[in-house]
Amino acid sequence: MKLTPPLKITVAGARNSSRISSIAQGLIDADGTNTLRIFRDFADNGCATTNIDCAKVLDFDDSGAIISGREIDIHRAGGDRKAGLHNFKTRQGDWYIRREKFESLWEDGDRIIYFALNCGGPGTEAYGPICLRITKGSLDTNPSAVFPSDSLQRYTNDLNEIDTDRIMGEIGCSSSKGNVALIEYQTHSSILDQERWSGIVCSDERYLEITVIGPLSLDNIVELRIRSEYAEEIDKLIDKEIAGEKIEPYERTQVLAISALRAWTNVEITVL
């Protein structure tokens, strides 16, 4: 498929959503158990979350917004765009060109923020122990799209080639996330076990990717999810600091991050 980038990511998703809906409906019609219909509705009710570490919490807090990877490095370079972009490229390593290939397809693609579809859990913890949930309305007010898995791993390869045909054949708009999930996971071995659906939809091993063009103001964050073990660890660090005991710099970052999170308004804290 010949494309002329940059494309509007929301428009691309909307154009393909009718085809995705037809495929999903065909699968549902052929399913005599009604399981796939229920699974689609389950996934459709999911939300967008992003997992981050404490350093990123402080980046977001300083910026007053959820920002992209490039903007994070520019912020850490004191606003020096050239230095920040150099640091971003270095930090990306072998993934840099692959990321550039994907993001350059889209208008303002260099401001993409990556989320995962989450149906009730701690999110993609490999990216960080702090899971932030944004409002569903955020996907309507900001350009966004849904992909059936990690875009860089799915659509690019070690030769830095990108499969645009597959991208345009699988992209969906935010309202089609249930259909995208159904098509992707309809043959998963645990599809008949409803208690495992949350893990099917979102885990470190697999997740639907939701890409949003940022920045997003902190007002879009409505929930913080955190493991009980990590919450207890942070509480102990806070107690140590209150008692005047010495804590390491990386521990201090964690204390500052949690303090910042607690100051964000209208954010529900859920300990899992």
Tens digit of pLDDT for each residue in 154-181?
A: 999 999 999 999 999 999 999 999 999 9
DSSP string, 233-267: HHHHHHHHHHTT----HHHHHHHHHHHHHHHSTT-
How far are the Cα atoms of 38, 97, 197 from residue 178, in angstroms, in the given order?
10, 31, 12
- pLDDT band, residue 190 (cuts 50/70/90): confident
> Given a cut of 70, is residue 253 above it in pLDDT?
yes
Interatomic CA distance for residues 245 and 255, integer angstroms: 13
Tens digit of pLDDT for each residue in 204-217?
A: 999 999 999 999 99
Kind and range of the H or E run holding 100: helix 96-103
Structural domain boundaries in the chain? 9-227+267-271
- pLDDT band, residue 1 (cuts 50/70/90): low
- Segment 258-270 mean pLDDT: 93
Which pLDDT value is given to residue 50? Answer: 98
- pLDDT band, residue 125 (cuts 50/70/90): very high
